[in-house]
Amino acid sequence: MKKFIIPIIILLCLAGIFIGYINIHFVQGSQNKVNYSVETSPQNSSIIVMGASYIKVPNNAKVVTQVDRVIKDTASNINDDTPPGQSPSSPSQLVPYMEGARVAQLMKYAHVQVIPITGVPIKNINGNWYGPDDHGNYIFGVDPSKAGPLFSINTSDPKTKIEVNTHGMNVMVPGAIKNNAYLVVACGDLPGKAKAEVYMAEHGINCYAPCDRFTANVMGYNGTGVILGGEPIRPLNDGTGAVIGAQPVPIDKNELIIVQTTNETYPDQYCDTPNRYFTELEKVYNVTLNLDVVNANIGETDKIVKEAQETGANVIGVRVETEKDKKPVENWLKADPNHRAILFHSAAYTAGYSLFSEFPTQVTGQDPQPLFIKQIPTTQLNQFLNQIRSLWSKQDYITVFH
C-alpha cells in the first residue's frame, strides 16, 4: 500500500494546482464564450475589463464580407474590373485599407475562405431603405446613399433596388446565414447595422465591425455569436488560426475617464463613438462612471490628452484616424505605463490600428461585452489579464494596473 501513497499525493497536488488555476483564470465554455470565476454583477464590481472578449477564427473558416472596401472600392477606382462576387485567392487582391486590410490579415493568419455578398435587394418603406433578414422581412435600416449608383442597380419596382457593391452589416444577413458563415466582417456605422449584428449573433454567427460607430447599440445581447467592434487581429499562439480581440485593459470603476465626443456632422461625426459607448454602458449595466466628456473632432485628440494631463486622469476613450490624431495619444501613452486608451472607430485606419501593437497592455478597442470583476490583488489581476493575452503571444507583460 505504501508504494501507492506518493503517487496519490502527487496526483492530489496536481489536481489542487489545476483547480487553483481554474479559479484564478477562467473556464472555457465554448470556442468564443468564456465564463470567468472573477466576474461579478456590474453593481458589485470594482474593476471593468475592456477588450477581454475575443473571436477565435480557425483555419479555413468561412468569412462573409461586404464588397465595398473589401473586394473593390468603386468610389476610389480600386479593383474596378473585379467582379463584386469574386472570392479572393490572395490577400493582395483585396482593397488595401479599412475592412479590406483587416480581412487580408485573416487570410494571412487563418487562410480563411472569403465570401463577398452581392446582389442583395433593399426596399424603400415609407421613405426609408431597409435590408432583408433571411425570411425576406425588410427590417435593417440602410443609408439612402447605398441605394445610389455606386452601390445599387434599379429594378422594375422603383421601391426596390439590388445592392451589388454591398456595404454594411445591414445587408449581410441572408448571405451569412445561407453560407453558414463563421464570421462576418462589415461596417457597423448605423443602428440598422447593429441590429443586423444582433440578429446574426443570435444565429450563432460572429460579427466584427472595424468601423464601429453604433456597436454600443448591441450591449446586452444574448446571442451565441460574439460581436466585436474595432479590435486587433493576430495569429493564434498555437498556429491554428487567428484571434480578434483578447487585448484586455482594466479600469477601476471609480477612476476618471476622459471621453471624446462631437456634435459635428460628416466627416467628424464618428468622433462621437467613445461617448456613445460609455453612455450606453452606464445605461445597460446600471452603473455610474466618472466621465469627463470633451468635444474634439478629427485631428484634435490633443484636446483629450490635455484634459487628461490637467485632471490627472489615466484613462481616455478616443478616436484615432490620422497621424495628427495619433501623436498626442502615443506620447501620452509613452509617458506612463498606467496610461490607458480605449480606441473607438480607429481599427480601420493605419494610425489608429498601429497603437494596438505598439501598446499591447495599454490600448484596446470597443468591446460591447465588458467584464465586471471583483476586487482582486494586483498580481492576480495581471495573471488573469496575461492568460487572456496568451492566446496570441508568449510575451511576459509588465504590470500596468495599480
Nearest partner of 212 among 121, 117, 321, 128, judged by Cα: 321
Residue type, 283: K
- Chain segment 275-301, per-residue pLDDT in tens: 999 999 999 999 999 999 999 999 999
Q: Cα–Cα distance between 40 and 53 in angstroms, integer?
A: 16
Give the model's pLDDT for residue 187: 98
Q: Cα–Cα distance between 138 and 319 in angstroms, integer?
A: 32
Q: Cα–Cα distance between 73 and 47 in angstroms, integer?
A: 42
The residues of the chain that CATH labels 3.40.50 are 34-53+246-389
Nearest partner of 22 among 384, 370, 366, judged by Cα: 384
Is pTM beyond 0.85? Reply is yes
Compute the chain's Rg from CA coordinates.
22
Q: Decide which of 3.30.390, 3.40.50, 1.10.3470, 1.10.10 is the CATH code for 34-53+246-389.
A: 3.40.50
- DSSP assigned state of 68: B
Q: Which residues of the chain have pLDDT under 70?
A: 1-35, 393-402
Secondary structure class of 206 (helix, strand, coil): strand
Q: Cα–Cα distance between 219 and 341 in angstroms, integer?
A: 20
* Residue 131: strand pairing partners: 140
Residue type, 365: G
| Inter-CA distances, 325 with 192, 363, 365, Å | 29, 15, 16
Q: Cα–Cα distance between 17 and 120 in angstroms, integer?
A: 54
Give the model's pLDDT for residue 21: 34
Q: Cα–Cα distance between 151 and 66 in angstroms, integer?
A: 11
* Start-end of H helices in 286-361: 301-311, 323-335, 350-358
C-alpha cell recorded at residue 181:
458563415
Give the model's pLDDT for residue 234: 97
Q: Cα–Cα distance between 181 and 101 in angstroms, integer?
A: 19
Nearest partner of 355 among 235, 255, 249, 279, judged by Cα: 249
310 Cα distance to chain centroid: 30
Residues written for the chain: 402
Give the model's pLDDT for residue 400: 42
Q: To which residue does cell 464564450 refer?
A: 33
Instruction: Please give the angle made by the CA atoms of 361, 206 and 343, to the nearest 5 degrees.
Output: 30
Parallel/antiparallel/unpaired status of strands 54-58 and 241-245? antiparallel
